[in-house]
Chains A and B, each alone.
Chain A
Amino acid sequence: MNDLDHLRRLDPAAGPVPQGGRTELLAALSTTDTPPRRGRKRLVAVLTGGFVATAAGGSIAYAVLSGQPEQTALGIQCAVTTTQSEFDRYHELSASMTNITGDPVADCAAEYARLNGRAPSLLGYSSGTSSIFVIPSTWTAPSDWRPLPTTFRVDAKRLELAQRLDDLVAGPPSTCMSHDTAEERIISYESELGLTGWATKRLPTSDADGSTSCAYALVDDNGSNTVLIGAHQYEKGQATPGTPDLAHLIAELRTQISQRCLSLEDAQHAVRQALGHAGVNLKDAKLPAALDPSARCTRVVLVPAGLTVIVLRGPQTAAP
């Protein structure tokens, strides 16, 4: 036997494959009112962000919505490496977005500048699948990428909703939530963000009533205003937020920020303290924070993203 013969015997997909959903998928595609390459007025995208706080597994993506005529479910990922070879090799694409203006090129430029100094000229591309990439204009884009229109915008509220669904401080994965509790939390988020006309849909699970598993939630990436609720495979009690250090950090952010009413500046101070207790010294580094004058208190979101993302949004002055 040669090397490939050894491998061939281990094929996990040899033999017949399931046919469930096949007909429905084709029917759904064929009835989609989407002319090829043009058409739908909304775009769902994924925008990655990250902030080095402490080690944690996983990754982050935010679902966002565009009002532009470019269609398709896409992702937006900022190149923050200084050379294309690093980008190609590591796919290290993003760091935290200190603010989302809705213009991914401008936001990525701000992020690049925060991390590397002055940003070069950047261009956004559709990768043709589920990602938009924002890269320096001097880099060579793969031949199947298409430049994004400069008018491309994202919907920050949809983005924040998706981010909060991943939040380990207060979101569905912050504890082992039942499906009912997760749904209540989702509805409260939508209300806070002013998102109207949204629905929730429970994904099929063997734990029909969600009583023995922990819920997770995702914004549907097909562009509908739907949050999908599913069940983690693990049993109750097995869901733990990474390392003990991370668990401690999360607990401190919960008690010091989520359960209090702080201004943005005070919340930044609280994050610094919590990170210090976790052994992360940020010195004078600027924390990802967005001013939200309409908020009474600052919200904190922590998402494990390979790096850990911590984002604050809040008012200059708290109004408990």
Chain B
Amino acid sequence: MTANSDFEDLFEAHYDDLLRFALRRVREPADAADVVAETWAVAWRRRDSMPSGDERRLWLFGVARRVLANQARGRLRRSLLADRLREELATRAQLPVEHSPHVEQALAVLSRADRDLLVMLAWDGLQPEDVAKVLGCSPGTARVRIHRARRRFRAALDSVGFHTTYTPVIRDARHPAQETS
């Protein structure tokens, strides 16, 4: 990518996805504004070395993960670029989110790494090979880690009285986030 219009296309195509990615991983919704702003700032600086095609979305998620990790390690960073979005996120009414205390309880006992994998699958709609790209590991490693994370999650669900079936995640071109049943 070299032209600003290419970057604008990228921005328009993935802004919502990136904001959702951040919102799923911050404690306070307003904190997602800084994650989004910083991730896009990195993308802007690296626009000449960014991967092409569908890889861009996963690359952005990978950057966002590192931004989030840096936030967790350091203090919450604030950027003037994120002012407007932060204000809107801070003041908007909470979206109606379904609550399931038992599932939340099962999720809470997992490690952060396991939760991260499951969230990428269930909420971000990523496939195992996509997860590998976001994490920067091999697809095989990603599959093994996902398998183990899901096994632990199912065990945790069992322990709180939820009995589940297991269906492996496979790619379906028509519905990429779907699974076999």
Contact = CB atoms under 8 A, between A and B. Distances in A.
Interface of A: 1-15, 17-18, 20-22, 24-26, 28-30, 32, 34, 36-37, 46, 48, 58-61, 71-73, 75, 77, 91, 93, 127-131, 142-144, 166, 201, 203-206, 218, 220-222, 224, 226, 228, 230, 233
A3 B63 contact: no
Contacts of B24: 11-13
Given A4-B179, A18-B19, A61-B75, 11 more contacts: A2-B167, A3-B150, A10-B100, A14-B97, A28-B81, A75-B74, A129-B70, A203-B83, A206-B90, A221-B79, A224-B80
B42 interface: yes
Name the prevailing secondary structure of the A interface residues: loop
A72 B103 contact: no
A59 B71 CA distance: 9
Interface in B83-123: 83-92, 95, 97-100, 103-104, 107, 118-119, 121-123
A12 to B, nearest CB: 5
Contact of B107 (A7, A21, A72): A7
Contacts of B103: 6-7, 9-10
A10 B115 CA distance: 13
Nearest to A130: B70
Given A13-B20, A30-B4, A61 B123 contact: no
B86 A203 contact: yes
Name the prevailing secondary structure of the B interface residues: helix
17 contacts: A3-B164, A4-B179, A9-B100, A10-B99, A10-B100, A11-B122, A20-B85, A21-B84, A25-B85, A26-B8, A32-B44, A46-B70, A75-B73, A131-B66, A144-B136, A218-B75, A221-B79
A205 B30 CA distance: 11
Contacts of A221: 38, 77-79
A232 to B, nearest CB: 11
Going nearest first, the 10 A-B pairs with the smallest beta carbon separation are A21-B84, A61-B74, A21-B85, A20-B88, A13-B20, A204-B87, A13-B23, A36-B48, A7-B122, A129-B66
A46 B77 contact: yes
A7 B123 contact: yes
B38 A29 contact: no
Nearest to B39: A129
A15 B94 CA distance: 12
Given A20-B85, A218-B75, A37 B49 contact: yes
Contacts of B47: 36
